[in-house]
Structure 1
């Protein structure tokens, strides 16, 4: 049996209770505890408890790790898996070809130097 929520589907009988699985699917969609609570018509604290229980069962400590571990164990999967694969392949191709549409990040040293110069100029006050 499976549960479908948005663009994700989850498999029951894989170690998570049905309501925990619903919460994990909602987390995979990027929803907050309050949004999940409104959707499921329960208290946000209950949602937090169900997410914590799922994290404990899967042996993780963060929400992103929860989704990754659930995907690794094939408890949840995106419904548009082929689209996700195409997007990943496109991203890899853009890195290899140097696509100009892809935003390149500056090295951190350049940004740190600019912040230091700005802070020095802010601290200097003209003598009147």
Structure 2
């Protein structure tokens, strides 16, 4: 399984997207704009937008770049780098259970009310 890394995301090349579309997708997942993606990849902003549109079409006509990133994440094409490193290395540790106190905590509430002078007319 061949992967590429961009920022804090890792993408799988064998999952259906070409290298440059996957690279644009990873940069978009790092919350970059089309201009920032183009600058990083060394292409024109319209080319970066077109690469993301092509990837959007391949993953089921997602309406937004955010939807594209979510769909790629759901399909396992991209993953946050720390999750990919943990799962790939097999060093997943079980979480320790949260210890609760033995006795339940008691909350005491007192209500006070101000009484004004009351005049009774007889």
TM-score bucket (shorter structure):
0.5 to 0.7
Moved over 4 A (4+): none
Aligned to 2:47: 46
Paired residues for 1:1-128 under 5 Å? 1-59=2-60, 60-81=62-83
Unaligned runs of 5+ in 1: 83-128
The whole-number CA distance in structure 2 between the counterparts of 1:58 and 1:37 is 21
The whole-number CA distance in structure 1 between the counterparts of 2:63 and 2:56 is 6
The whole-number CA distance in structure 2 between the counterparts of 1:14 and 1:8 is 15
The whole-number CA distance in structure 2 between the counterparts of 1:64 and 1:12 is 20
Partner SS, residue 55 of structure 2:
helix
Aligned to 2:92: none
Unaligned runs of 5+ in 2: 85-122
Structure number, greater radius of gyration = 2
**RMSD of Structure 2 on Structure 1 (CA):** 1.2
TM-score normalised by length of structure 2: 0.65
Number of equivalenced pairs: 82
TM-superposed CA distance for 1:80, in Å, is 2.1
Bigger share in helix: 1
